[in-house]
Amino acid sequence: MAFPRPTLPELIDTIRTDLVTRLGIVTTVLRRALVRILSVVFANEAHDLHGHLDYNSKQIFVSTADADNVPVHGNDLGVPRKAATYAAGLVDIVGAPDGTTLPAGSGFQRDDGVQYLADADAVIAGGVATVAVTALVNGLDSNADAGTALTLTSTVAGIQAAATVNAAGITGGVDLEDLELYRGRILTRKRKPPAGGNLNDYLNWMGEIPGVTRSWPIEEGNGPGTVLIYFVTDDAVGGLIPDAGAVTAAQAFIDDPTRHILGSHVTVAAPVANVLNITAHIVPDTTANRAAVTAELQDLVFRSQEPGATIPLSQIRAAVEDTAGITDSAVSVPAADFTSLPGQIPTFGVITWV
């Protein structure tokens, strides 16, 4: 049965009662009596010990372990936490005369203070040059869209201080894996251990790829002897649907000889977004209620996201009408179940309020 942790006042009362009983004290114990003082001292120590035991009991299990100990469980199973990565890309610079060199290690800075370093020398030709750069700090914030303005952090003769992120952008920066996503991967590994190349193995392998948050392996998705894997990147700057670079990186990871299953043909692909737009009427129609309904619908779509999924119209209506504070509602679009084709996943679009 459960063993509830006693509170400090409960411990003080218990210890004081024990002392009074053991010492045979029959008179009233005054406030400054030694028995009261010792009760508080002993209870404080016991309370700390109970707390330590309570904390340690939670660290035994992945589902209740804290941020310091979840990685211990993961490492024991060979499931390390995905580290943050540094964004890299190209920067366009302008200078003269031709042949002027921007040395490797030169710094660029964004308006918000994020900095990048040149990976190699870049030589001006035709008045311009393209510089390969890597962010100085890791994480999502190190990504930069094409056209973002940068400034050289130190003067280089013949090179203009103003620079621009190349059309290819600066990409690849990913934050340290979210703790709860990581906890979920470890639990998946425990509940679905390696099995010589079944779908659970692909699920675990895809989970190891930086930026990949969810995946769906499909047996014989491209015919007999094949595995088709769709995946998404919820936290990526570009959004849920992976870009071509993410697909290429994921395919290379799965094709690694340490993971490739002999005789299988594995294809990694990005699903196609099937956007769910909704037209709804709610009573009372307030800003707060609109926000609450939107959150409920977004959660419904998230829970329903898998290739070829269908979201029943009844669930869409229920998500609206069951939102706290709504007394009446109607959904006119969609007018039927929202169905996705194979290779499509439902994504949340916009709500039109009427």
pLDDT single digits (tens) 25-70? 878 888 888 998 999 999 999 999 999 999 999 999 999 999 999 9
Q: What pLDDT is stored for residue 217 in this prediction? A: 94
Helix, strand, or coil (residue 130) = strand
**Residue ranges of the alpha helices (H) in 196-309?**
199-207, 244-255, 287-304
Q: Which residues of the chain have pLDDT under 50?
A: none
| Residue for token pair 């009372």 | 284
Q: Which DSSP helix (H) or strand (E) runs through 9? A: helix 8-23
C-alpha distances (whole Å) from 212 to each of 234, 268, 270, 274 are: 8, 12, 11, 19
Note whether 312 and 345 are within 8 A (CB). no
Q: What pLDDT is stored for residue 225 in this prediction? A: 86
C-alpha distances (whole Å) from 326 to each of 297, 332, 349 are: 14, 17, 21
The residue among 122, 121, 134 whose CA lies nearest residue 92 is 122
**Residue ranges of the alpha helices (H) in 67-216?**
70-76, 179-191, 199-207
A 10 A CB-CB count for 106 gives: 22
In this structure, is the dihedral angle defined by the CA atoms of residues 200, 205, 207 and 212, taken in order, positive or negative? negative
C-alpha distances (whole Å) from 18 to each of 11, 35, 36, 39, 256 are: 11, 10, 11, 9, 67
C-alpha distances (whole Å) from 258 to each of 69, 80, 212, 253, 255 are: 28, 17, 19, 9, 8
Q: What pLDDT is stored for residue 260 in this prediction? A: 76
| Residue for token pair 């006119």 | 332
Amino acid occupying residue 263: G
Amino acid occupying residue 231: F
DSSP 119: S
**Cα-flanking dihedrals φ and ψ of residue 223, to 5°?**
115, 175
Q: What pLDDT is stored for residue 24 in this prediction? A: 87
Please give the Cα distance from 2 to 43 (Å, whole number). Answer: 21
In the CATH scheme, what architecture does the domain 192-269 have?
2-Layer Sandwich (3.30)
Helix, strand, or coil (residue 66) = coil
Within 80-200, strands assigned E span: 88-94, 101-102, 107-109, 115-118, 122-123, 128-135, 149-152, 162-171
Please tell me the CATH code under which domain 88-171 is placed.
2.40.30
Strand partners, 149: 164
Q: What pLDDT is stored for residue 237 in this prediction? A: 79
Strand partners, 272: 344
Query: What is the bridge-based pairing of β-strands 265-269 and 226-232?
Result: parallel
Note whether 316 and 280 are within 8 A (CB). no
pTM comes to 0.69
Please give the Cα distance from 118 to 103 (Å, whole number). Answer: 8
